[in-house]
Amino acid sequence: MTAPNLKTVLTFDETTTAFRSVAHNLSAKKAEAKADLLRSTGAQVRVVDQPTRHEGQRLKTCELCKNAAESFSDHNPEGAAPEERSEDEPTAESGQ
C-alpha cells in the first residue's frame, strides 16, 4: 500500500552513535512540528519519507522504523553532519 506524504522522524543518539525512530505515520506538517520541538531541546533530527503506512506497528517494536533508522545511520555514520531536510535520503523497507 502506498502512503504518500507519510513521514518518520529520526533522532541521533550520541550514546549509540546511531539514529533511532521517535515517530512514524505522521503527516509532513506533524513531522515538522515534532522535529522542531525536538530541535528546540538540542536534538539532531531528521525527517524522512515513509513509503508505506506502518499498520498495526507500535513505534517501539516497528521493524520498518528500525530498518529505516539503521539504513539512515549507515548512510550518515557521523550523525553530526550539517542538518538539512532529509527527504531524499534512503528509507528502508523489510527485504530491501
pLDDT in tens, 19-71: 999 999 999 999 999 999 999 999 999 999 998 888 776 888 888 888 888 88
User: Domain map of the chain by residue range?
Assistant: 7-75
Q: What is the pLDDT of residue 2?
A: 52
d(CA 49, CA 30): 13
Report phi then psi at 35, rounded to 5.
Answer: -65, -45
Buried b / exposed e along 61-89 (16+ C-beta atoms within 10 A): ebebbbbbbebbbeebeebeeeeeebeeb
Q: What is the pLDDT of residue 36?
A: 97
The top-scoring range by mean pLDDT among 28-32, 73-77, 89-93 is: 28-32
